[in-house]
Amino acid sequence: MPIDYDKLLARPFPQIEQPYSARDTILYALGIGVGADPLDEDQVRFAFEEAEGFAPLPTMPVVMAGPGFWVREPDTGVTWEQVLHGEQRLTLHNPMPSEGIAVGQTRIDGIVDKGEGKGALIYVAREIHDKATGTHIATSVSTTFARADGGFGGPDGPTLPVSALPDRAPDMADEVTTVPQAALIYRLSGDTNPLHASPSVATQAGFPAPILHGLCSYGIAGWSILRSCCGGDPAKLKQLDLRFSSPVFPGETLRTEIWRDGTDVSFRTSVVERDKVVLNNGYARIAP
């Protein structure tokens, strides 16, 4: 059945409580690749619970207290086999504790019908709070591109704007080489889609090998911004937005080019081995 615009826009989501420990915080960091240099104290800070200043990476809220792969439920009208994660936005209101219970409340903020054969955009927002204190940790907004579901009679806008990159050479760049088992580690933070683990599933989907999670690439770009522009201080990163433009394979090197204009940071990320842009229109806001 096609998407029912009014029904999908009003879709209720249960409040999700997700307990997490220092072990989960460390596992997320290791999945991003932080800790590759065990002698680098700036990395060890996020990968060892006894390190001074131990804290979660600031991008960790994107994997917390979500509703799961809800588009797979038949009453959504979404052809779940054809969905892609198109964009990710994260606004950080307060630092997340290194362990606790995260509370997430999801809502659909908008649906855009791009037309028959052109797909649809579904903007899904999630507010994340700390249960013990009620502190508002983050607002996560993701764009789901439902490639097979356009033409249901919904509105053709408005679409969320994307950040344009400056028309000059980047001010700096940072490289992170992923390990071949990166997706197998990252999936333990919650995304167990077999596309990222099973060679046969990847082949069926048209890929030569399992691909890296988009949110893992997102976290790697966040790590590059964190250590290049924030002095490694997770409290200084206030916003991280980007558009996914191409898949990444575990073992590839991600090079993030960075333009800094005061507290505004623009960036894009490419795979070095294939000279392919994989994350584009990146924008980060950092504390003064």
Describe the strand order of the beta sheet including 264-271 as a list of residue ranges: 16-20, 100-113, 120-130, 136-146, 83-92, 237-244, 276-286, 264-271, 253-261, 172-177
Which of 191, 213, 222, 241 does the annotation list as catalytic?
191
Let me know: does 288 contact 258? Beta carbons within 8 Å: no
151 is catalytic: no
Which of 26, 128, 185, 211 does the annotation list as catalytic?
211
> What Å distances lie between residue 229 and 28, 92, 282, CA to CA?
21, 16, 14
Let me know: does 184 contact 197? Beta carbons within 8 Å: yes
214 is catalytic: yes
Closest to 270 in 3D by CA, of 283, 262, 258, 261: 258
Reduced to 3 states, what is the DSSP secondary structure of residue 101? strand
86 is catalytic: no
Handedness of CA 222, 228, 230, 234 (dihedral sign): positive
Which of 24, 86, 110, 196 does the annotation list as catalytic?
196
DSSP state of 108: E
Which of 100, 110, 150, 214 does the annotation list as catalytic?
214
191 is catalytic: yes
Residues forming the active site: 191, 196, 211, 214
